[in-house]
Amino acid sequence: MNELCTVILAGGQGTRMRSKLPKVAHQVAGLPMIAYVLEACRTLRAKRTLVVVGYQAERVREALAGEAIEFVLQQEQRGTGHALLQTRQALSGFDGDLLILSGDTPLLTSETLEGLLEAHRRARVKATILTAEVLDPTSYGRVVRDERGELLRIVEEPEATPQEREIREINAGVYCFAAVPLFEALQAIRPSAVKGELYLPDVVALLRERGGRVQAYRTADPDEARGINSRAELAEVHRLLWRKTAAWLLAEGITLLDPESAYVGPLVSVGPDSILYPNVTLEGRTAIGEGTTIHSGCRIRDAKIGDGTVILDGCLIQESEIGDGCQVGPYAHLRPQAKLRSKVKVGNFVEVKKSVIGEGSKVPHLTYIGDTSMGEKVNVGAGTITCNYDGFAKHRTVIEDEVFIGSNTNLVAPVSIGRGAIIAAGSTITEDVPADALAFGRAQQINKPGRAAALRAKRQQKR
């Protein structure tokens, strides 16, 4: 079997998006659209993956930070053929199969790519092109076949004749080529007479003229061929993704009280017997356990939530971990690197950031926990603040097991509260508290009898 390399073309601006952001970096269900193309390629076990960047190249690199890929710069954007030519040096000496994709097709699936590769290798052809038959082929390259149904060429819409524009079979922008003849043919293609660009599809006809066999592989799901070129198409792809994911969740034993308002991304996993209320948004690579309930108005991105947990209305949870049997909300905010162990309660109007909350601990309401390590069975009273920032640097708070913190308490970090300690309500704690100690950090209260009536009388006179 030939070795495989993949190339993803991501250098274009996407002018119809009318955006300063490069097209492939626009988000679809919480991830850049190009991330879905990479995800579809993972099962192929390619030797190398190259991404061709051009317009706002750094923004695309940032969007794909941490991925095991190589970037190739297309300094000028002169078409898809020109973009692929930029990889020639990086792929020098490679004589296997080259899978070429566009970074703006987030509906593409690994099953379709596997089918394309299998068909290409079985037929031993120079090129296999993914195609789809659609109701409205406007803006896509048309697939031209001969009287026997064999692939002749692909013609771009600006250069198509009126008869060719009637063709409903389109080029999906996914190709598998034998690498060596591909780069030889790329050297010979000529710029478009209309736009002056080098079109990669022109290689198909050229390979055929040189005696190479080419073929088309038609996908059963034309939605996979959808490229995103405008905000309207971005919105439509979102709708398609949500509907497909909702249908899959229902089939897998998840209750959706209103499937039309379940906004669940395709890389999200949800365990059986979970319940999603209306207007829930699950984005990125979120993983939800079994028997978990998520109420209305919650948005959860790149989070891991255990079994039997309840997320009440209006919560925002980002890049966090929540254990089994927890209760969060309503209106809680879990910021990145928040970790809730099992049976934790985080209540209404609580914000947690870069902190660990131990098993069985409770932070019921109106509290900020930041840069904190909290032990087990801690009870935090309303209005507690971990004062983690001194204007120059962040500092950590340590709260050991079975601590009780009274309401309206400020813990000025860096500070440590020992096991079993009690902090009196209304305290400002600036020094470490030993285990089992009772700590007060209040100003002395002074009562002045009769002064309230005198003060009111004085204010009346000023009116």
Distance in angstroms (rounded) separating the CA atoms of residues 173 and 159? 17
CA-CA-CA-CA torsion for 147, 153, 159, 161, nearest 10 degrees?
0
98-125 as b/e: b if 16+ CB within 10 A: bbbbbbbbbbbbeebbeebbebbeeeeb
Q: 319, 320, 347, 315: which is closest to 333 by C-alpha?
A: 315
Work out the widest C-alpha separation in the chain, in whole angstroms.
106
> Peptide bond preceding 414: is omega within 30 degrees of 0, i.e. cis?
yes
Beta strands in 381-426 (DSSP E): 385-387, 397-399, 404-405, 410-412, 415-417, 422-423
Choosing from 120, 295, 333, 365, the catalytic residue is: 365
Q: 49, 50, 45: which is closest to 2 by C-alpha?
A: 45
- How far CA 431 is from CA of 184, 347, 428, 437, in Å, comes to 73, 27, 9, 12
365 assigned to active site: yes
| CB-based contacts of 355, cutoff 8 Å, min separation 6 | 337, 338, 339, 369, 370, 371, 372, 373, 374, 386
Residue 270's H or E segment, with its range, is strand 269-270
Q: Identify any residues that bridge with 433 across adjacent strands, giving them in sequence order.
A: 417
Sign, CA dihedral 452-453-454-459, equals positive
Q: Identify any residues that bridge with 394 across adjacent strands, giving them in sequence order.
A: 389
Residue 433 burial (CB < 10 Å; 0-12/13-18/19+)?
Answer: buried
By three-state DSSP, how is residue 133 classified? strand
- How far CA 356 is from CA of 9, 322, 373, 396, in Å, comes to 41, 10, 5, 11
Active-site residues, by number, are: 365
